[in-house]
Structure 1
Amino acid sequence: MKNKRYFALIIMLAITSIGIAQGPPGLGPPSPPGLPIDGGLLFLVISGVLYGVKKKFKN
């Protein structure tokens, strides 16, 4: 019984958050041009790999 309530709560929160996230159509400022994410993404990938290697060899 308790699991059904948790499941129902999660479903209700998911549905309401999706409904709130969608704004009204046609309103709002125009979207800016696409921005490149190359440099930042490459930095994050390299730092993640280096951190993983460090953790792997430390243990």
Structure 2
Amino acid sequence: MTFVVAWIAQNWTSFLEPILQACLIILTVIAAFFMAWNRILDNQLKRKEIRDSGKACSD
């Protein structure tokens, strides 16, 4: 059992940890992209609503 735990710890520090850190960085970049895209779409929707409400008031 001790050897298995030592083997897992060795693989964690040399192999698994960098892979998981890379996955975390990639997921963070993807999440940031979607947050920015959502912000852009929200601004477009708000501008469209403002334009539509301006046209309704002037009619």
Asked whether the two chains share a fold, i.e. TM above 0.5, the reply is no
TM-score (norm 2): 0.43
TM-score (norm 1): 0.43
Structure with more helix by fraction: 2
